[in-house]
Amino acid sequence: MTDMMNQGVAELAQSLARKDFSSVEVTQAFLDRIQLHNNDLNAFVTITGEQALAQAKTADAMRAAGTAGPWTGVPFAHKDIFCTAGVRTACGSRMLDKFIAPYNATVVEKMNAAGMVMLGKTNMDEFAMGSSNETSWYGPVKNPWDRTLVPGGSSGGSASAVAAHLCPAATATDTGGSIRQPAAFCGLTGIKPTYGRISRWGMIAFASSLDQAGVLTRSAEDAAILLQTMSGFDPKDSTSVDLPVPDYLATLDQPLKGLRIGLPKQHFAEGLNPQVEKLIRDALAEFEKQGAILKEVSLDNSHLSVSAYYVIAPAEASANLSRYDGVRYGHRCDKPVDLEDLYKRSRAEGFGAEVKRRIMVGTYALSAGFYDAYYIKAQKIRRLIKDDFDRAFSEVDVIMGPTSPHTAFALGSKHKQKDPVAMYLEDIYTIAVNLAGLPGMSIPAGLLNGLPVGLQIVGRDFSEGQLLNIAHRFQQATDWHTRTPGVGAGTGMKGDH
């Protein structure tokens, strides 16, 4: 029975098709494993056991009747940012601690339609604002590779859960690096597709021009399966892109001969741990071995990406989060004396420190007299950052480099420190990708002192198929993505079910 816990989405689908075990059996096994490890890891904030078993039962019935799809009955988890009808959707916030979503996000509908089984909802930084999963109202998540370390954020619960084999895959979202950085810290494959590829409908908004859904898995093949299931045009999201979704699985094996890989010199500069750089260079050599060509490129304005982001994202957040007013849904303070008191105290009690800080930065940047100096300036820099990528992509097919300058850092080492900027600089290599709307991936590229290091791959608009192909070819030639942390009383993955 332990073996099923080590299978990914593709393998589980095959096992279910062969009737090695039923969906009910594998769902129960994962629920048991969650029960065993979640108290410590804090990766799940809601476990939907009863519903999961009911979904699994339906999946088994479909399989018996011959109406099952390829992924029917495979369990997974949703980041708690996606609205799930009838299930609490808290987004890591006290504000939504009692919020039972009245409808399903489009992503949730699509997973349901595929017959996949939701095990529960995963922990996250509050409103996805954080890079360590320490801003969650539900407490920090631990990194299964070393429980004194953060799993990364904001999709830290999803990353911890997949890395600890509490589920084979999980949905996630990425506004500035929230899929790629946790993927790097937890040794996972994570993909943030092009802005507009996956519907944002029912995905609780942080910064609407940057937010994009994606997945965390243990292989590129599994990422392809989930991305395929989640992607596509949605009339309910006005920024959803009306383009056909290519068959990502069909192109996974294409040879990489002649692939031109750009290495931004700014991503191999001061600040990068030299041992991380060495592992990244080793990974790049593997691509060269497969016939790819490496070429230095320059993203001249990348040093301003964090600055521009911390205007644009908080500005959008301050507008998006104005909906939490204590009137229609969400937290409401006790005994408000008047309407203003109701707003101010409900919001003060419902939001955590980091969320309040970003709302205030955004409010300031958008306020009269400062709008041009901050918001318009940041949008101009956004244009220059996009132009840098366009220039690079006229010379190369993809861009690669480290996902993060270092491996996972210690819980408490950056959060609640006096200066929040240290945490913001965590996303130094990932943030520009969101500003430009491009697809980005992180894949395991090695271990440094027993901790995973991630390789970032960035492509042109709508090149998800190519990114997955590149990642898959790398994973066929290396085994970094198969390395797992030992979870459970030091007995490793095998014996601790």
Vertex 243, ends 81 and 202: CA angle to 5°? 20
178 is catalytic: yes
Q: Which of 376, 412, 476, 492 binds other proteins (CB under 8 A)?
A: 376
Count Cβ atoms within 10 A of the Cβ of residue 452 and give its class: 0-12 exposed, 13-18 middle, 19 or more buried. Answer: buried
In this chain, which of 17, 339, 410, 477 binds other proteins, going by CB under 8 A? 339
Non-local CB neighbours of 28 within 8 Å, separated by 6+ positions: 53, 56
If binding is defined by CB under 8 A, does position 147 make contact with other proteins? Answer: no
Q: Which of residues 302-331 bind other proteins (CB under 8 A)?
A: 303-304, 306-308, 310-311, 318, 322, 325-331
Tell me which stretch binds other proteins (CB under 8 A): 10-18, 165-173, 246-254, 299-307: 299-307
Window 238 to 257, contacts with other proteins (CB under 8 A): 238-239, 241-242
| Residue 37 binds to other proteins (criterion: CB under 8 A) | no
Piece in contact with other proteins (CB under 8 A), picked from 12-20, 38-46, 160-168, 368-376? 368-376
Residue 95 touches other proteins, criterion: CB under 8 A:
no
For other proteins, which stretch binds (CB under 8 A), given 379-387, 405-413, 441-449, 484-492? 379-387
Q: Which is nearer to other proteins, 18 or 328 (CB)?
A: 328
The answer to whether 226 touches 9, Cβ cutoff 8 Å, is: yes
Q: Which SS3 state, helix, strand or coil, does residue 343 take? A: helix
- Residue 427: CA count within 13 A, CB half-sphere: 33
Report yes or no: 330 and 96 within 8 Å, Cβ to Cβ: yes
**Does 57 qualify as catalytic in the annotation?**
no
Strands lying side by side in the sheet with 398-402 = 44-47, 117-122, 75-79, 170-174, 212-217, 189-192, 440-448, 451-458, 398-402, 260-264, 293-297
Is the Cβ of residue 303 or residue 494 nearer to other proteins in the bound state? 303
Binding mask 411-450 for other proteins (x = CB under 8 A): -------xxxx--x----------xxxx------------
Q: Does 338 bind other proteins (CB under 8 A)?
A: yes
Q: Which is nearer to other proteins, 209 or 298 (CB)?
A: 209
Please, which contacts does 141-145 make with residues 24 or more away whose CB atoms are closer than 8 Å? 141/41, 141/42, 141/43, 142/40, 142/41, 142/42, 142/411, 143/185, 143/186, 143/408, 144/41, 144/186, 144/485, 144/487, 145/186, 145/187, 145/408, 145/450, 145/451, 145/452, 145/485
Q: Does 356 bind other proteins (CB under 8 A)?
A: yes
**Burial class of residue 450 in the structure, from the number of CB atoms within 10 Å of its CB (0-12 exposed, 13-18 middle, 19+ buried):** exposed
Per-residue tokens: 312: 């644009």
Q: Considering beta carbons, is residue 208 or 275 the nearer one to other proteins?
A: 208
Q: Under rule CB under 8 A, how many of the chain's residues touch other proteins?
A: 75
Site for other proteins contains 336 (CB under 8 A): yes
Q: In the complex, what is the shortest distance from the CB of residue 54 to other proteins, in angstroms, rounded to a whole number? A: 22
Structure tokens at 466: 């190519």
The crossing angle, in degrees rounded to 10, of helices 23-41 and 9-17 is 150
Binding mask 200-219 for other proteins (x = CB under 8 A): ---------x----------
Q: Write down the least CB distance from residue 468 to other proteins, Å.
A: 20
Residue among 15, 23, 132, 154 flagged as catalytic: 154
| Shortest distance in whole angstroms from residue 383 CB to other proteins | 4
Q: How far is the CB of 58 from other proteins (least distance, A)?
A: 24
Told to check if 289 binds other proteins by CB under 8 A, we report: no
Kindly list the catalytic residues: 79, 154, 178
